[in-house]
Chains A and B, each alone.
Chain A
């Protein structure tokens, strides 16, 4: 049962159980018993505190500062605990980037998240794939190691975590030895009872062994190729676990940064937990990487319905297993009941209880953050906020989507300009056979009032910082490019034009322009003066694009184009015709947002003339008997005028629908 411990204590006062040398340890007498709870965090991704560095706002649903409360609860509940982290710890948010890239950590400094983990008295950790993202030099430094690998010249050991980090399946090419210690046997002093129920202290030898996905070799090839090699997870387990047993490990905890996969095993298998559980000698598994919650009786995930997997009790081939979701949202708990046989400890398997405990309460609120966590990294946290607010360029015009549906490109044109330049450069450097094809770019207004009149992109004139770039490019996309023909281009634009209702020019009553069932993020448009077309909203969906031309010449159905877009669209998002991954010629590792930031850094100053005025489309002129209306925020008509839209007027400051919108009219005859 979960404790209702009130959690009023800070981490500095957490009851901790310290590892002591074996010489000081009394041997466990036969018949003694003890409870030992194995606790897991995983995929913290540098979310030390629950904070969104791009929104510059607290995010209470994540953060190790809340998991710290769950750890305190577990330590109060169980007489003995060991706390391990599964990996993907040091990368994943602006704080991580700040400490690795913007103002790299000095040798004498401890990484923010490790400072907190030290204070929380972690007993050990493994290494995830994302630990390698900043390169081996950085990893060697912040883990307090001295990697003997090519390209890393570290004259001395730097500050690192105070707990052991284990990894059994990554080797240095230079030395042919494991990059980290493959396993560690932690001698844990525990409170126990002897056969007569009297309180005693004893030592439990807890062996931990770590594994990371061998696929790091392709994911971080630029850092790892020629410097390290990997072995399969199962091979590493078969090699080292017998050694651990021989050295006296009472229990073996496998900390595997991976999930479950029952496809045929290979030495490159990313999620090898299903096979790892079948290696003799594994007493408990702590999983991660796939960002799932296990045990989870309600899960429909196919990986949790595999043979040998008990998703309710948290067993994989009988091995108690936990995966604590991600970002500190959960704490994994495997409560083991141990009994001494005179030589060591054995697990009473039928008494094992596995749980993944949530930082969210039943009433949907979240446990309070432990303020001691933020206190430990306040300087790093505030420096990161300063970094996110640092200007990367400036704009002399307000960039908004209030009138994007009727032709204002002020928040879209810069995205298209950045994407076009990126793809043009890529094609010139890497795809010379396509060098003569025109490169277009599509983007959409991501925010158009779905959540209310405040829910539009609105970046003021002035300096542009990283958080503004997040406003301009809302979604976590990667830049992709597709090769399509003229018919495909027209079909793409027709699908976008479904954003509008069909307007009957003879109807005297007001007609709504926008079809609310087609979200604005599916209203893709180019913003280049080179391509031009009309949208005839008097025609039914699918027959609205007219006069599509490139540099004034009608586009032929077989004419080829390269179009810069994003992974969502290129992979089939929005179900645009022909876009299902089969047209992709570039799947960039760079995010669309980073492409935009790099472009703004390069251009430095955005002006209305260069980045806010060009339009590729207009509505086909038609005189309507009644008004054509749409809804946007009140009092922003001047923005339409500044964008050169002289056919928009505000009919009512309150459209009467109770959501704060004004009613505007669009004169299609102009």
Chain B
């Protein structure tokens, strides 16, 4: 479980994250939703230590990540897998090379064990035929799947995804969403996904937190989101014409 206690983050006079308190539970997909610019990515980066929060703490299974030294954080970081918005694959490495990279850096596996692990991860994301391709040679969906394979290569306890289906067609988006959910249940990970895709909320939102202007406005189970009487959340959910028609019907 990940506990976030009262974190805030400002850049100059711009208060991006304001006193957010929440918990992300193990074995389920936790979604953080909100409009573009609502502070979702900054919130995620504060959680994983890419930004230092101005106030508050982040605890990974009661380990206080915020108060750790950089050396102590290394142990926690090896339990973290992250899928970046654009994949963040290393351009100079092949698909298999990208997945093997964390194993080379942190595992004590033999070369054959690493090879087996890479095979397993790529098979798990249906990329077994893309071993020797470079990131520039594969599609956006394949890049995301490679990033997911890299993220799970070290068997992480915590998986973070920053808009994993942005820039993808609806069908591929659903594939990616379902893949992340399957992996979360299969490996009993604590998964946190940043998204503004309502489809993801319906498909995989086991727990949802809604952010607006850096503050938490609503939190609850995905299935309860339509019963919310929070005006900000309603505006967000029913912003599109399709959702407005859905509400009317």
Same complex for A and B? Answer: no
**A-to-B contact residues, CB < 8 Å:** none
